Structure 1
Amino acid sequence: MSDLKTASLTDLQEHRLGLLVWKARQIRQAVTAFEQTWPPLPPEPPIPAFGWSQLQRQLTDLAPPELAPLVTDLVSAIRKESAAKPAEMVLREILTITATVLDEGFREKCAEDSTML
């Protein structure tokens, strides 16, 4: 492989690594801000366990059909970052998605502006 191609691959790898570090810092800052607002509470009995597929299925059922792709993307995004966040922060994100798909005003805006999906 030529030196130019090797340099380009190295630059690309460094760029990707930089993006990963940036994303990790962004998540860490969000977690820190969340924990400052809502410090951890004493342990309690957990809620019944459920999986990501079950969550997505229920949210998709609650959402109008035109929002189903949005629900899929949002649940996927939460799932990918959930290991780095406190459980209560993940819960808040799930509740935000739920409120969004049930919000009539949001539905109307989506119907008017298809770029939101």
Structure 2
Amino acid sequence: MFAGQVLPYPSSNLALDVLLLFLLLGIEISRIYFAWKGNLTERGVPLTLALGLVVPCVLLSVYLLLWQTYVLRAEVIISSILLVFLGLEAVLSCLAIATFAK
């Protein structure tokens, strides 16, 4: 993390921010896998799991956008783009689940 090297960062806050960043990475990988699998197999269950994983991704993205110790401009831009894509994916996942359920 750039902020941890350049800015005076309390070590407990740095550990929490890094932990939450890696947690977001793990959830994002799982979410993308379930969405990919559900779309390829045209089944609603993996897409529903992916849709359920959108909620923790949004919460972690909002944390990175607003509440981490130092919020850099690049992080604001990246987190905002991520939130837009998560919202778009949630809408499209709902449409796909409705289509596959028919």
Which one has the largest radius of gyration? 1
Same fold (TM > 0.5): no
TM-score (norm 1): 0.31
Higher-helix-fraction structure:
2
TM-score (norm 2): 0.35
